[in-house]
Amino acid sequence: MSYCVNCGVEVDATNTQCPLCQTAICNPNQPVDTRSPKPFPEEMEVIGPASKRELAILLSVMFASMAFACGILNFFLNPERMWSLYVIGIAIMLWIWFVPMLLVHKVPMWFWLVCDVLSVGLYVFLISLDLNGLNWFLGLALPIVLLATASVLFLGIALRGGRRSILSAITLIIGTGGVFLLGVELFLDLYFTQTWQPAWSIVALTVCIALIIPLVVVRRVSGLREEARRRFHI
Amino acid sequence: MEAREKKDRQKPRWYKIDNAGVLYTSLQKDTYSAVYRFSAVMTTPVNPEILQLALDRTIKRFPGFHMRMKKGLFWHYFEPDSRPGPFVMSDIANPCTPIRFQDKRSRLVRVYYYQSRISIEVFHAVSDGAGALIFLRTLLAVYLREQGIEIPDGEGILNVDEEPVPEEMEDAYVRYATVKPLRDKMQKAAYPAGGTPEPFYTLNVIMGFLPLNQLREKARSYKVSVTEYLTAILLQVLLERQKRERPYKLKPVALAIPINLRGWFPSKTLRNFILTMRPGIDPNLGEYTFPEIISQVHHYLRLNNNRQLMQARLTENVNFQRNRLLRIVPIFLKDPVVALSYKLAGVRPYSTTYTNPGAFRVPPEMQEHIKHMEVILGQPYGNKVNCASISYGNTMNITFASTIRETDIERDFFRFLVREGIHVKVESNRKETLAPTQIW
């Protein structure tokens, strides 16, 4: 019989270390039994990700039926206006949001978020087709959508894997939000007045910087960081 | 009319899930299932063919254990499983794997064998520990009979040649929900005994085997039962763990202890019939010595484990399920709400769960064929450690099952017992990092 010198418990003859404290088991009178089977099986059952194929098919059929039915109805109801584009656009957008991630695994979340934002852009494009607004789509909506996509992509890459602390994550989100708003005003000004005169976005960016500075200070100073972790732990 | 009645009788019987089952089915997801395991380590290696024969004979007597979970519009329900099987399987390193209702290969009850060990895994919506142990006891009896050993029925062994008794499938919660309900107050959040999560799906098991006579003697020296004694040790260990972490604010340490209601409310049901108690210590009130913790646990359990309180609580639970507004809410809306309420009322107020189904008794003819019993309370909800114990003969098995890397809770628990003068032998399925040659 072998015992752990740390814990005082008897261990199985096949153990090389104590299961409780991982201390090596050294018993000159009883070497480790390498022939007897272990007390538990060693083969694990691999649990793969659950198949959501049926749900994906159901959702695809639902969205496709919705888009098709409204598309057909458009020929009879108010055919002078392409109102079905709104419904078709929603169906495509929702399909992109929900269905691919049911079928494809091991794709990073930021990729799905980028697709989601681009699908919003696609929907806005379909709206612009109905309203003959290609001009504002290309001049305003598309740049904003692309800026949103870039922001989401940046955040997705910066925050992937959960490596960042909560403080850093909040700092990045606030900073990205401030830059995004700056970009929105830039595009609005360029579209409407062809000159950039930042106003409200500077205020928003200043507020964001004012929020970021104390967060960065707390993050940098270890004493403050520890205090924040204690007070805000969940 | 007669033909119609005959046709109705021939239709497979479906069953509503009981009050506890509602919870477990709502929590059910692809990454979590409330599954537990009971094992009997025999004195001879298991013969899988004979075990399969025994299972085929036994399962007919226990229709409640051969069901499939189906999803209705408002509630889940059971219907008989018409597939061939269940089949005994070679055991795996990661027990109590999640059950996926939609997966055609998934079963609510599984039977494994490894060396001399026969194990059953049961989804908690099917049955509680008491019901599962009757099933296991009967299975073992039939298994031994198939090898030519005479084992009489009775003493928790059902006659497998008899037809199932309807009382065994009753929802005992509904039967006894006849008094004025008592709503439990929302409990404070307890210290969560968590840690670093392991990859999915890993269930780390550490089992301790103790001589029951030594344990009983020690518990008697404190004038408490074995359950109260072990509960107090676990509370002590968790209190010290929280203290080591030096949190900003100390939280109460409390355990979820399931209580078998059949002692108070006679029922032959093999389904769920349990309620949970919450013995705990609040360290904000000051330092507690171990005898003081024992006293708190002892008096709490004596005070709160009474028929009137249990009946009022179970009536409240049943009334909640009977609520007309709740009943008409579709299941896809109901499940997340029930799951959330469980997180608030069933997880947050508890540091961990400790269950003790008690002594596993068998007829004298079976005793010499079983070496000891084991129990594993499966995957905890959240990254935590669960504790369960069961005794057979003079061996008490205490098992910790966790989805975290750290072993400090188990280590401190068993070291405490060793310091109390109780011999402990441990076995584990955790991977070792040292090869035999590295030691010398």
Per residue in A140-195, pLDDT (tens digit) is: 999 999 999 999 889 888 887 666 777 888 899 999 999 999 999 999 999 998 88
Query: With contact defined as beta carbons under 8 Å apart, do B92 and A44 qualify?
Result: yes
Query: What are B271-326's pLDDT values in tens digits?
Result: 999 999 999 999 999 999 999 999 999 999 999 988 999 999 899 888 888 888 88
Rounded to a whole number of angstroms, the distance from the CA of A215 to the nearest CA of chain B is: 20
Q: Do B100 and A22 touch (CB under 8 A)?
A: no
Segments of chain B with pLDDT less than 50: 8, 439-440
Assembly ipTM = 0.83
Give the span between the Cα atoms of A89 and A130, in whole angstroms: 11
Residue B375 lies in a domain: no
Using a CB–CB cutoff of 8 Å, tell me whether A19 touches chain B: yes
DSSP state of A168: H
One domain, residues A16 and A71? no
Residue A59 lies in a domain: yes
At B440 the pLDDT is 42
Residue B142 lies in a domain: yes
Contacts of B205 in chain A (CB under 8 A): 40
Non-local CB neighbours of B400 within 8 Å, separated by 6+ positions: B205, B206, B207, B385, B386, B387, B409, B410, B413
- Residue B119's closest chain A neighbor by CA? A40
One domain, residues B252 and B390? yes
One domain, residues B252 and B136? no
Using a CB–CB cutoff of 8 Å, tell me whether A43 touches chain B: yes
Decide the pairing of beta strands B352-359 and B253-260. parallel
Give the span between the Cα atoms of A62 and A57, in whole angstroms: 9
One domain, residues B424 and B297? yes
Q: Do B426 and A9 touch (CB under 8 A)?
A: yes
Contacts of B207 in chain A (CB under 8 A): 39
- CA-based nearest residue to A23, from B384, B403, B422, B407: B407
Query: With contact defined as beta carbons under 8 Å apart, do B250 and B295 qualify?
Result: no
Give the span between the Cα atoms of B181 and B333, in whole angstroms: 26
At B439 the pLDDT is 46
One domain, residues A112 and A55? yes
One domain, residues B88 and B214? no
Residue B43 lies in a domain: yes
Whether cis (ω within 30° of 0) applies to the bond prior to B201 is yes
CATH of the domain at B273: 3.30.559.10
Contacts of A8 in chain B (CB under 8 A): 415, 418-419, 424
Rounded to a whole number of angstroms, the distance from the CA of A108 to the nearest CA of chain B is: 18
Gyration radius of chain B over CA positions: 22
Residue A107 lies in a domain: yes
- CA-based nearest residue to B413, from B380, B388, B383, B377: B388
Query: What are A15-38's pLDDT values in tens digits?
Result: 999 999 999 998 888 888 888 899
Non-local CB neighbours of B67 within 8 Å, separated by 6+ positions: B15, B78, B79, B80, B81, B108, B126
Give the span between the Cα atoms of B297 and B318, in whole angstroms: 28
Using a CB–CB cutoff of 8 Å, tell me whether A157 touches chain B: no
Residue B5 lies in a domain: no
Task: Tell me the residue type at B315.
Answer: T
At B11 the pLDDT is 53
Q: Which residues pair with B355 in a beta bridge?
A: B388
Give the span between the Cα atoms of B252 and B130, in whole angstroms: 30
One domain, residues A64 and A23? no
Q: Which of B92, B122, B156 is the last residue of a domain?
A: B156
Instruction: Enter the tokens of residue B123.
Output: 């989804």
Contacts of B414 in chain A (CB under 8 A): 7, 9, 20
Contacts of B92 in chain A (CB under 8 A): 41, 43-45
Q: How many domains does chain B have?
A: 2
Go through chain A and tell me how many residues it has. 234
Residue A82 lies in a domain: yes
Q: Which of B122, B156, B190 is the last residue of a domain?
A: B156
Residue B298 lies in a domain: yes
Backbone phi and psi for residue B155, each to the nearest 5 degrees, phi listed first = 55, 45
> Which H helix or E strand runs over B248?
none
Q: How many domains does chain A have?
A: 2
Q: Which of A86, A111, A132 is the last residue of a domain?
A: A132
Strands of the sheet containing B117-123, edge to edge, are B88-90, B109-114, B117-123, B35-42, B370-377
Q: Which of B93, B128, B156 is the last residue of a domain?
A: B156
One domain, residues B222 and B300? yes
Q: Rounded mean pLDDT of A211-219?
A: 89
Instruction: Enter the tokens of residue B279.
Output: 């013995």
Residue A14 lies in a domain: yes
Contacts of A51 in chain B (CB under 8 A): 102-103
Residue A104 lies in a domain: yes
- Domain of residue A28: give its range: 1-38
One domain, residues B346 and B242? yes
Q: Do A44 and B200 touch (CB under 8 A)?
A: no
Cα dihedral B265/B270/B273/B279 (nearest 10): 100
- Residue B426's closest chain A neighbor by CA? A11
Give the span between the Cα atoms of B34 and B25, in whole angstroms: 9
Rounded to a whole number of angstroms, the distance from the CA of B128 to the nearest CA of chain A is: 25
Cα dihedral A75/A77/A79/A84 (nearest 10): -80
Give the span between the Cα atoms of B98 and B84, in whole angstroms: 21
Task: Tell me the residue type at B229.
Answer: Y
Backbone phi and psi for residue B25, each to the nearest 5 degrees, phi listed first = -75, -30
Instruction: Enter the tokens of residue B356.
Output: 């003790």
Q: Which of B29, B33, B37, B94 would best serve as a mutation to test chain A binding (most A beta carbons within 10 A)?
A: B94
For chains A and B, count residue pairs whose Cβ atoms are closer than 8 Å. Answer: 113
- Domain of residue B64: give its range: 13-156
Residue A225 lies in a domain: no
Nearest to B200 among A42, A47, A231 (CB): A47
Backbone phi and psi for residue A83, each to the nearest 5 degrees, phi listed first = -70, -25
Query: What are A59-101's pLDDT values in tens digits?
Result: 999 999 999 999 999 999 888 888 888 899 999 999 999 888 8
Backbone phi and psi for residue B30, each to the nearest 5 degrees, phi listed first = -65, -20
CB burial readout B210-243, b (16+ within 10 A) else e: bbbebbbebbeebebbbbbbbbbbbbbbbbbbbe
How many H-runs (helices) and E-runs (strands) does chain A carry? 9, 2
Q: Collapse the DSSP code of B84 into the 3-class scheme (helix H, G, I; strand E, B; otherwise coil) and give the result.
A: coil
Residue B187 lies in a domain: no
Nearest to B439 among A9, A16, A54 (CB): A16
Residue A223 lies in a domain: no
Using the structure block, give the residue that is written with the tokens 């814990």.
A7
Give the span between the Cα atoms of B107 and B96, in whole angstroms: 12
